[in-house]
């Protein structure tokens, strides 16, 4: 696959993950619980499939860029950010008071991840 296709898939994965997490956070922010969320499975699937696409397309881009062997530090930082995204799905249900701040934090984390990919600071 071409580098451009990997980039499109990477962005698609990010959008899916953000939709799933945002939906879960919005439901909790509006007073919803895990038990009364009829779309809980859909939101979890959006987040999970999105993160899987991000992971696969990200490593595909690394291969296309010729980055093999030792993974650069900026890549590990991106992986850490996306691990936080993966863990964030439990936060709205376990601590609903953090649901609204999560709606602001998620785009900032995504922006930090994009910064790392574009500028490769380390």
Print pLDDT tens along the chain (122 aa): 999 999 999 999 999 999 999 999 999 999 999 999 999 999 999 999 999 999 999 999 999 999 988 999 999 999 999 999 999 999 999 999 999 999 999 999 999 999 999 999 99
What are the φ and ψ backbone dihedral angles of 59, each rounded to 5 degrees? -70, -30
Residue 22, pLDDT score: 96
Model-level pTM?
0.91
């Amino acid at each position: 696959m071409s580098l451009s296709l990997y980039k499109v898939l990477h962005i698609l994965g990010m959008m899916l993950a953000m939709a799933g997490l945002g939906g879960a956070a919005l439901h909790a922010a509006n007073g919803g619980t895990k038990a009364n969320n009829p779309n809980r499975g859909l939101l979890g699937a959006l987040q999970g499939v999105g993160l899987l696409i991000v992971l696969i397309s990200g490593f595909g881009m690394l291969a296309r860029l010729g980055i093999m062997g030792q993974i650069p530090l900026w890549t590990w930082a991106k992986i850490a950010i996306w691990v936080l995204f993966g863990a964030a799905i439990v936060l709205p249900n376990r601590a609903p008071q953090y649901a609204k701040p999560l709606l602001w934090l998620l785009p900032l984390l995504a922006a930090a991840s994009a910064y790392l990919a574009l500028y490769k600071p380390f």
